[in-house]
Chain A
Amino acid sequence: MPVLEQPSDVLRQFCHGDLDTFEALFRRHQSEVYGWIVRIVRDPAAAEDLTVETFWRIYRAHARFDPTRSFGAWARRIATNAALDHLKAARLEADRLETDLPDDLRTPSLPDPGISEEIRRKTARAFSRLSPKLQVAATLALIEEQPYGEIAEALGISTGAVKVRVFRALRFLRKELQRQGIKP
């Protein structure tokens, strides 16, 4: 995701809570923020709501923003936290109802004929059982193939910590798939 930057005077105006400046920043960054969120939550409707939620959090925190830093990186971090909160809430709801998370966006566009529908379904189910933190790391690193450095910045952790989360996700998935009778 390219990070579009603004002159620091624009960012300083934003820090003072100027609504017109906020609108300009919103219009400039909404697509990037949405694109980042939809990669994590994999649901376009939820991603739109979360984009608005992200900018709401950004607007509320305007006074805490440092205009010498990157607005795009800050927005992405807040977007990641909003998406993570959404996944946690969805997980709690699924646990409460004792169901798996929906497979809405999870039908492959170009399925590999070597992998059966059943295996794909079981893999998606195993993935939905990952903790939200591991799910975000695995989605961004393994499925979306985002650079580890960018993931680390968005999650506010080190690159090493991202690698640990991805490894733990892979280990969990292997166990879960084996439990379902699939040998990776």
Chain B
Amino acid sequence: MNEHDQKRIEQLLKNSLPPVSDRVQAELRHDLWPAMLKRLEADPAAVPWFDWALLAAVAACLAFFPGAIPVLLYHL
């Protein structure tokens, strides 16, 4: 693809999809904090799944090998 083609496609793009930077829409019209608070209340920060998996693995290990409990307590 030559430079002329590139320039022409760029020109077509800018005419068909004008930059948002030139428009009013680029500016936020209202504070989004109330929406953020709603989101935080609706979906409080969850414990990551791998933390639950790790906990399950440790519990299973202790159930099958109770002898490991003193070792675990020693390292805590």
* A interface list, Cβ under 8 A from B: 17, 19, 23, 26-27, 30-31, 34-35, 38-39, 42, 44, 48, 51-52, 55-56, 59-60, 105-106, 108-112, 115, 119-121, 123-124, 127, 138-139, 142-145, 167, 170-171, 173-174, 177, 182, 184
CA distance A112 to B14 in the complex (A): 10
Chain B 9-42 interface mask (CB, 8 Å, partner A; 1/0) = 1111111111111110111100111011001100
CB distance A123 to B20 under 8 Å? Answer: no
Chain A: minimal CB distance from B22 (Å): 7
CB distance B9 to A105 under 8 Å? Answer: no
Given contacts A23-B33, A120-B15, 9 further A-B contacts (CB under 8 A): A26-B32, A34-B32, A35-B28, A44-B25, A52-B35, A110-B18, A121-B16, A123-B13, A123-B15
Q: Tell me the count of chain B residues lying within 8 A, CB to CB, of chain A.
A: 33
Q: Which B residue sits closest to A27, measured CB to CB?
A: B33
CA distance A145 to B17 in the complex (A): 13
B interface majority secondary structure: helix
Residues of B with C-beta under 8 A to A108: 15-18
CA distance A44 to B32 in the complex (A): 13
* B interface list, Cβ under 8 A from A: 1, 5-6, 8-23, 25-28, 31-33, 35-36, 39-40, 43, 45-46
Q: Which A residue sits closest to B7, measured CB to CB?
A: A184
Q: Which B residue sits closest to A117, measured CB to CB?
A: B16
A interface majority secondary structure: helix
CB distance A120 to B16 under 8 Å? Answer: yes
Residues of A with C-beta under 8 A to B18: 108-110, 143
Contact residue among B10, B13, B16, B27 (Cβ-Cβ distance under 8 Å from A35): B27
